[in-house]
């Protein structure tokens, strides 16, 4: 086993439960207001750490009250924080999350200090051939590119979760070994004109359109329809686990963190997908993002 390095966002998640999400110009009443540790980078790092991997978190928080609190919470998660620093004159990243009665969410991201994570901050991280480099689209793309170039030079494995969906402004895709997206993101990054929901054949076609090099694996999470992985030689499909969702926030991050851990454990691709698929399902059964990230026991309970 090597080490998992996660270059990504660290946020304070401000979440509120509502019966229905407000329409434009509408005010609705909410309850269960929470302030919790979040950010796709932090969530994925915590998910991998809770599942037994050695994880280094690379990121930035502000020097505000939230920044101090975020560092304190991350220190409890058995992460290496050598490359997580506070920056002055920037607020900590914040996510405003509204969760409705159907457990669906709407999220507004304020990047804050996450936008200050620069290429020189990630290139100084020691990466080895057995390591895994993970990133997402809540930090600057120029930084992600530098991070993956550093990982590739070392012979490490790279995983990109390009979420929230945004156009590729840097040539990052050729540096990616495993691209993890949901159906909506798949369409965002493809030149193919399909409509949601996608059929299995359409997802396979879209993956072929997206593949940037001959060894790249594309993993598409499909919610209630499970998971599809497209490699240059095969297609793997898995059914969703029948759970009663409470909050879908963080489910995708649980998937990515668990997937990285499974690859770190040298699991076969299908076994890694099954592990990650169960982790994503387990995360929906608890409120919150980081608070919902599952333990190995919780994942194992969903795997026959």
The residues near 274 (Cβ < 8 Å, ≥ 6 apart) are 238, 303
Give the alpha-carbon dihedral of 178, 184, 186, 192, to 10 degrees.
180
Q: Looking at residue 127, what DSSP letter applies? A: -
Backbone Cα Rg of the chain: 18
Q: Which candidate, 83, 40, 82, 104, places its Cα nearest to that of 257?
A: 40
Do 243 and 281 touch, CB atoms closer than 8 A?
Answer: yes
Of the listed 13, 177, 253, 264, which one is catalytic? 253
The residues near 244 (Cβ < 8 Å, ≥ 6 apart) are 285
Return the structure tokens found at 41.
Answer: 């980078």
> Which conformational region is residue 155 in: left (phi greater than 0), alpha (psi within -120 to 50 degrees), or beta?
left
Q: Which candidate, 156, 112, 213, places its Cα nearest to that of 6?
A: 156
Return the structure tokens found at 155.
Answer: 């012979």
Active-site annotation holds for 253: yes
Task: Return the active site residues.
Answer: 253
């Amino acid at each position: 086993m090597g080490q998992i390095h996660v270059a990504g966002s660290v946020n304070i998640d401000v979440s509120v439960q509502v019966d229905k999400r407000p329409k434009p110009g509408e005010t609705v009443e909410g309850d269960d207001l929470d302030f919790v540790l979040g950010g796709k980078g932090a969530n994925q790092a915590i998910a991998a750490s809770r599942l037994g991997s050695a994880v280094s978190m690379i990121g930035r928080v502000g020097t505000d009250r939230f920044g101090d609190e975020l560092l304190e919470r991350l220190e409890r998660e058995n992460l290496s924080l050598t490359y997580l620093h506070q920056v002055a004159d920037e607020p900590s990243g914040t996510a405003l999350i509204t969760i409705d009665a159907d457990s669906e969410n709407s999220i507004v991201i304020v990047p804050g200090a996450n936008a200050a994570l620069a290429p020189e901050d990630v290139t100084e991280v020691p990466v080895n051939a057995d390591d895994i480099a993970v990133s997402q689209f809540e930090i600057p793309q120029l930084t992600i590119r530098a991070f993956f170039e550093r990982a590739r030079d070392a012979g490490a494995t790279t995983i990109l979760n390009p979420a929230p969906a945004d156009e590729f402004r840097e040539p990052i895709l050729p540096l990616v070994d495993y691209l993890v997206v949901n159906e909506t993101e798949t369409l965002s990054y493809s030149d193919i004109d399909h409509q949601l929901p996608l059929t299995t054949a359409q997802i396979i076609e879209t993956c072929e359109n997206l593949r940037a090099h001959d060894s790249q694996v594309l993993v598409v999470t499909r919610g209630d329809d499970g998971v599809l992985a497209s490699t240059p030689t095969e297609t793997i499909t898995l059914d969703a686990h029948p759970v009663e969702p409470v909050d879908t926030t963080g489910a995708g991050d649980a998937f990515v963190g668990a997937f990285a851990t499974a690859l770190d454990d040298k699991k076969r691709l299908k076994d890694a997908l099954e592990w990650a698929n169960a982790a994503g399902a387990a995360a929906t059964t608890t409120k919150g993002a980081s608070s919902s990230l599952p333990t190995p026991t919780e994942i194992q309970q969903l795997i026959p």
